[in-house]
Homo-oligomer: A and B are copies of this chain.
């Protein structure tokens, strides 16, 4: 195929679009790949669509290659299956709902677990039919609160979602592993740097869960990785390595002390160092046990207070907390909640009042670092008073632990700190894929059961696997661009070669046209800049901006029988004799 710049539906812009926050958005608009159609809604112009289709093709080939089967569900879906799974409500404002002319309720599908589950239920009935792996590449919808960064967080986007169906947990593990391998092959072909991080399954429930993140300094997702080993995890999924219990034989009995006007950790630490100085080292925030109150808003609408105990030098990370509790929502503990719990003394709340067995009856969960034997200063549940030498497991017993404390650079690596001393550092990325084990949630909700070897009905267990196909266009751009423009990896580039004819000499245009035909004849896609009245400078700038991997310039050198072949990524230039150009270019393109 030959795409001629003189007629191609594209216009490059020298100026950045006003609403573009990130390089990929800026460059994709400037290069004429996409246009905004509304908040979080984008139109694909021809070059952008070519990149999108290339990514779709790669994803499809790898899914087909692993033995998954493609089908396609509607995007407009009736309410009933989502009602049965509970997601009609769980999604809150996050999905688009609408009514048809008969006032029937519909939604625009955010993901299709329900439909896949029902399809398998419709067609299959025996363990012999399983495992089966099904997928679709489809337009999805989410009513994002803050659509942003162009294609990175849109409201209409293209996703590949696939699902595995097995009768046993071992089968699910195998299906999960097969998808993981296929994802690695897919992302390797897409040609950008990525990292596989442990993740929480979020609203989906389930057990094993990993995300494929594109490395990107301004990605939305923060993750942590070990400085030493290959541990990497979504911040939400980092599991603090719980320390071993500590001996507390020598710890004095807990004693309440007057600590007037110390409602904050900072004032408390200052007060402790002034009034109760320690011999070995000064008090610091990490010696205190901070008790944070929140209210859980359950999907059924009920409210439940929750107390979280954590070292005073750490804040609660709302995303980590939310990730643990989804689909339950976390909201603020308000004055009315204090009023309803008179045992709580604001600023001086301690384990003495917390926990299901204590005065408030509020469930009390603590950071995993609060292990048996650890020794804390914390609220005495009396105004202006704290307890010192309060020992976990001796003086109080929480109702459980929770991973809600912020993760910090320098924290011990949960995998290798004990043996190798690795610590965590934070990095940012863009979520490109998510694989996780759904388990039996949807099969239970929609009654997907099959007969096992013994003729007994068993509930099917599922895995769910997604790739953000349209997001990948932006993520790749984000990951590979340079200061001059886009730099496409070869497999996703909108063309194999960007052929530029410069100057006014008709011989140049004739030679370039012949070269375009020759390369096209060899199966390459040629973006041919055949514009007659555009200066070489503008053409070169456009070529840098558009980002086709190989740029061939037919210009002044033609008089000497020479054509320039340039690598967009490395800027390496090679002069090639005109008649050797086709072979040379084909070799470069095909590797």
Partner of A35, one of B70, B122, B143: B122
Instruction: Indicate if A574 sits at the interface (CB-CB under 8 A).
Output: no
Question: In the bound complex, how far is the Cα of B155 from the Cα of A41, in angstroms?
Answer: 22
Instruction: Indicate if A177 sits at the interface (CB-CB under 8 A).
Output: no
Which of A72, A123, A124 has most B Cβ within 10 Å? A72
Q: Mark A107-129, 1 if CB is under 8 A from B, else 0.
A: 01000000100010011100000
Instruction: Indicate if A338 sits at the interface (CB-CB under 8 A).
Output: no
Q: Mark A82-119, 1 if CB is under 8 A from B, else 0.
A: 00000000000100111011001010100000010001
Question: In the bound complex, how far is the Cα of B35 from the Cα of A74, in angstroms?
Answer: 11
CB–CB A156/B75 < 8 A: yes
Point out the residues of chain B lying under 8 angstroms from A52, CB to CB: 72
Point out the residues of chain B lying under 8 angstroms from A42, CB to CB: 74
CB–CB B43/A76 < 8 A: no
Q: Looking at the complex, which of A6-14, A210-218, A430-438, A474-482 is the stretch in contact with chain B?
A: A6-14
CB–CB A73/B143 < 8 A: no
Question: In the bound complex, how far is the Cα of B49 from the Cα of A43, in angstroms?
Answer: 24
Partner of A70, one of B46, B75, B108: B46
For chain A, what secondary structure do more than half of its interface residues adopt (helix, strand, loop), or is it mixed? mixed
Partner of A93, one of B71, B101, B132: B101
Residues 122-144 (chain A) with a chain B CB within 8 angstroms: 122-124, 132, 134, 139, 141, 143
CB–CB B123/A9 < 8 A: yes
Partner of A46, one of B8, B10, B71: B71
Q: Mark A1-41, 1 if CB is under 8 A from B, else 0.
A: 10000011111000000000000000000001001011101
Instruction: Indicate if A358 sits at the interface (CB-CB under 8 A).
Output: no
Count, chain A residues at interface, CB 8 A: 53
Contact A143 to B43, CB < 8 A, known contacts A9-B134, A76-B156, A78-B37: no
Question: In the bound complex, how far is the Cα of B103 from the Cα of A143, in angstroms?
Answer: 11
Question: In the bound complex, how far is the Cα of B155 from the Cα of A78, in angstroms?
Answer: 12
Question: In the bound complex, how far is the Cα of B145 from the Cα of A100, in angstroms?
Answer: 10
Copy number in the complex reads 2
Point out the residues of chain B lying under 8 angstroms from A115, CB to CB: 37, 43
Question: In the bound complex, how far is the Cα of B42 from the Cα of A143, in angstroms?
Answer: 24
CB–CB B76/A35 < 8 A: no
Contact A45 to B74, CB < 8 A, known contacts A9-B132, A119-B35, A145-B101: no
Point out the residues of chain B lying under 8 angstroms from A123, CB to CB: 9-11, 32, 45
Point out the residues of chain B lying under 8 angstroms from A41, CB to CB: 74, 76-78
Point out the residues of chain B lying under 8 angstroms from A45, CB to CB: 71, 119, 123
Instruction: Indicate if A69 sits at the interface (CB-CB under 8 A).
Output: yes
Question: In the bound complex, how far is the Cα of B470 from the Cα of A72, in angstroms?
Answer: 12
Q: Which residue of B lies closest to A116 (CB)?
A: B43
Point out the residues of chain B lying under 8 angstroms from A43, CB to CB: 71-74, 115, 119
Which of A9, A104, A106, A134 has most B Cβ within 10 Å? A9
Which of A10, A93, A98, A123 has most B Cβ within 10 Å? A98
List 15 A-B residue pairs with CB atoms under 8 Å apart, sorted by A's residue number: A7-B132, A8-B69, A9-B132, A10-B123, A35-B122, A37-B78, A38-B77, A43-B73, A43-B115, A43-B119, A44-B71, A46-B69, A49-B70, A76-B156, A100-B155
Known: A45-B123, A76-B108. 9 other contacts (CB 8 A): A7-B67, A37-B115, A39-B104, A44-B73, A46-B69, A46-B71, A76-B96, A76-B156, A100-B143
